[in-house]
Structure 1
Amino acid sequence: MNLQGKVAIITGASRGIGKAIAELLGRAKAAVVVNYANQADKAEEVVKTINQEGGSAIAIQGDMSKVTEIESLFSTTKEHFKHIDIVVNNAGQGFLSLM
């Protein structure tokens, strides 16, 4: 898969499935936006991995339950990469407490 020239936003990309998707798209040469809500250090690790493997990635903080932060994610991405081609909505919110 070659995604050279494509820009991908992955929400919830600092860990788990989102991290795996971000790294896969980075290896496919997409420019990757690693979105995270609270774990900047983990998001930066994902960015570092993608960049070290020859990809291009940045981390952008944003809570996807807040419209203004979603808008900011998209506008910041467009400022940095000029366009958006792929959006993976992976961010999740746990509402049930452990029993």
Structure 2
Amino acid sequence: MARLDNRVALITGAGSGIGRASAIRMASEGAAVMCADLDEDGAQGTAATIAEH
């Protein structure tokens, strides 16, 4: 069981930098992650990276 199983995280600024790293890390710990960013392509890229793993 991962540390963040059954948790939901809404990450603002998930398209790059600390937001992207936080989203990927929380997903790897078991959280369901929603990525939000003014840069829609960046947020979708982060979501795609998470979905690949």
Query: Normalising by structure 1, what TM-score?
Result: 0.50
Q: Larger RCO: Structure 1 or Structure 2 (Cα < 8 Å, ≥ 6 residues apart)?
A: 2
User: Can you give the 5+ residue segments of structure 1 that lack an aligned partner in the other structure?
Assistant: 54-99
* 2:21 equivalent in structure 1: 20
User: Can you give the 5+ residue segments of structure 2 that lack an aligned partner in the other structure?
Assistant: none
Which residue identity is paired with 1:4?
Answer: D
Q: Which has the larger radius of gyration?
A: 1
CA distance in 1, matches of 2:50, 2:28: 7
Task: Provide the identity percentage.
Answer: 37
**Number of residue pairs aligned between Structure 1 and Structure 2:** 52
Which residue identity is paired with 2:6?
Answer: G
Query: Normalising by structure 2, what TM-score?
Result: 0.88
* 1:48 equivalent in structure 2: 48
